[in-house]
């Protein structure tokens, strides 16, 4: 009889292991199937944590006995961002549109001159090279690319807008959601986890200050360099350089390519000046500014910041690179609390 019971218990344990393995596989597949959605939710919650100190700073403004509410502070920040965008569009876009219209109007004459110069080159003198046909092929390819990528662009824009909405909801209802998630943790361990997450929130909030400092430094340096080079729309290009600096690697590639294109309209000397400027700045930022500013703001080693950027970009592209440092801060705090200092006992409730 005991042998029968032991065999029955063994079969139940084996069945339990099999069911657990199947359930684990199904959970992993489910998470992978919805990984883009989970990434959107996680990044929105992270941005809510990062921007919350900024909203609280606005709420601390006092005019007489009046303090801004959370909703008012959030609306004020959105209005400031929208105002900056509107000013940029009003002052930067019209000159660009006028120049594009002028180029398109004079394009036939320019094409004829360029084609004549190309035909004088020895390598193309005996070739049947039709510049107009080549440009038409390029235009058709560009139009086809725009048509095929339009749905993907629409999805990207919709995800961005949904991320903004989720971030706002997390900022308003985040404390309730946070307490609900903590309720799943055993009471004896809840206080320690809460203290660790509060430290992570404080350090993640400082990341925005560090990133803002990097963006401001690049914007000011670009403004000075582009003004010295007498680039067209130098103020708008400097603004874009600073703004896109929030996107590691990809932001630099996009803005440098745009600046080089604008400089090429005038002269190759300006192109060389732009490339030399950014080559020097990139070395200074990567070797000096980035490690020290991020070290002082989020208390992460420079090597950890670079590794976080690489892992984030490889795992989730541009969005992963943007949220890499705040995520690294969260991981660092949890590792410090539960692995490095695992013998340290936080306060608990019996």
Find the range with the poorest average confidence among 127-131, 140-144, 287-291, 292-296.
Answer: 127-131
**Per-residue confidence band for 14, with pLDDT thresholds at 50, 70 and 90:** low
Domain of residue 243 covers 189-344
- At CA 60, angle to CA 299 and CA 178, rounded to 5? 60
Question: Of 264, 215, 262, whose CA–CA distance to 240 is shortest?
Answer: 215
* The pLDDT value given to residue 204: 83
| Residue 323, in any domain of the structure | yes
DSSP class of residue 244 equals G
> What token pair was written down for 309?
């950027």
Q: Is the pLDDT of residue 244 over 70?
A: yes
| Residue 92, in any domain of the structure | no
pTM of full prediction above 0.85: no
* The pLDDT value given to residue 350: 40
Residue 97: CB atoms within 10 A of its CB come to 9
> What token pair was written down for 252?
């630099």
| Residue 316, in any domain of the structure | yes
| Residue 1, in any domain of the structure | no
Rounded average pLDDT over 169-175? 85
pLDDT > 90 in the chain, percent: 7
Q: Is the pLDDT of residue 59 over 80?
A: yes
Q: How many domains would you assign to the chain?
A: 1
> What token pair was written down for 203?
């350090």
| Residue 308, in any domain of the structure | yes
* The pLDDT value given to residue 21: 74
Residue 205: CB atoms within 10 A of its CB come to 21
Cβ 211 vs Cβ 243: under 8 Å: no
Residue 31: CB atoms within 10 A of its CB come to 11
* The pLDDT value given to residue 346: 47
Q: Which residue has the higher pLDDT, 80 or 106?
A: 80
| Residue 139, in any domain of the structure | no
Start-to-end Cα distance in the chain: 43
| Residue 282, in any domain of the structure | yes
pLDDT per residue over 216-238, tens digit each? 999 999 999 999 999 988 888 99
Helices (H), the chain: 2-33, 35-59, 70-120, 122-125, 131-182, 187-229, 234-243, 250-266, 268-284, 290-298, 302-322, 324-335
Sequence-ordered list of residues with C-beta below 8 angstroms from that of 320, at least 6 positions apart, any chain = 39, 311, 312, 313, 314
Q: Which residue has the higher pLDDT, 264 or 132?
A: 264
Rounded average pLDDT over 200-208? 83
pLDDT per residue over 272-291, tens digit each? 999 999 999 988 887 788 77
Rounded average pLDDT over 118-146? 58
Q: Is the pLDDT of residue 142 over 80?
A: no
Mean pLDDT of the chain: 78
**Per-residue confidence band for 65, with pLDDT thresholds at 50, 70 and 90:** confident
Tokens 């410090």, located at residue: 336
| Residue 71, in any domain of the structure | no
């Amino acid at each position: 009889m005991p042998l029968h019971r032991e065999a029955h218990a063994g079969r139940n344990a084996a069945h339990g292991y099999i069911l657990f393995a199947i359930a684990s596989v199904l959970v992993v597949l489910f998470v992978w199937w919805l990984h883009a959605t989970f990434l959107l939710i996680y990044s929105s919650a992270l941005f809510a944590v990062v921007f919350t100190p900024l909203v609280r700073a606005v709420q601390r403004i006092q005019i007489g006995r009046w303090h801004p509410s959370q909703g008012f502070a959030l609306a004020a920040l959105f209005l400031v961002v929208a105002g900056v965008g509107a000013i940029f569009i009003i002052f930067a876009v019209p000159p660009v549109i006028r120049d594009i219209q002028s180029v398109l109007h004079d394009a036939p004459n320019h094409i004829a001159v360029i084609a004549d110069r190309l035909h004088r080159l020895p390598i193309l003198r005996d070739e049947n090279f039709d510049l107009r046909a080549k440009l038409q092929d390029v235009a058709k390819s560009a139009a086809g690319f725009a048509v095929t990528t339009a749905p993907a662009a629409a999805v990207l824009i919709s995800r961005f807008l949904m991320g903004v909405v989720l971030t706002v909801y997390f900022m308003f209802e985040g404390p309730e959601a946070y307490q609900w998630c903590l309720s799943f943790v055993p009471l004896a361990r809840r206080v320690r986890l809460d203290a660790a997450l509060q430290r992570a929130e404080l350090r993640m909030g400082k990341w925005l200050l560090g990133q803002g400092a990097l963006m401001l430094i690049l914007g000011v340096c670009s403004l000075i360099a582009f003004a010295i080079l007498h680039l067209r729309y130098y103020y708008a290009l400097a603004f874009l350089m600073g703004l896109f600096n929030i996107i590691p690697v990809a932001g630099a590639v996009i803005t440098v390519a745009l600046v080089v294109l604008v400089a090429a309209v005038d002269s190759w000397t300006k192109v060389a000046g732009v490339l030399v400027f950014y080559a020097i700045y990139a070395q200074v930022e990567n070797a000096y500014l980035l490690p020290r500013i991020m070290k002082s703001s989020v208390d992460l080693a420079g090597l950890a910041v670079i590794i976080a950027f690489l892992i984030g970009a490889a795992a989730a592209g541009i969005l992963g690179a943007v949220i890499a440092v705040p995520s690294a801060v969260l991981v660092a705090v949890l590792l410090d609390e539960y692995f490095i200092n695992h013998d340290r006992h936080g306060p608990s409730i019996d």
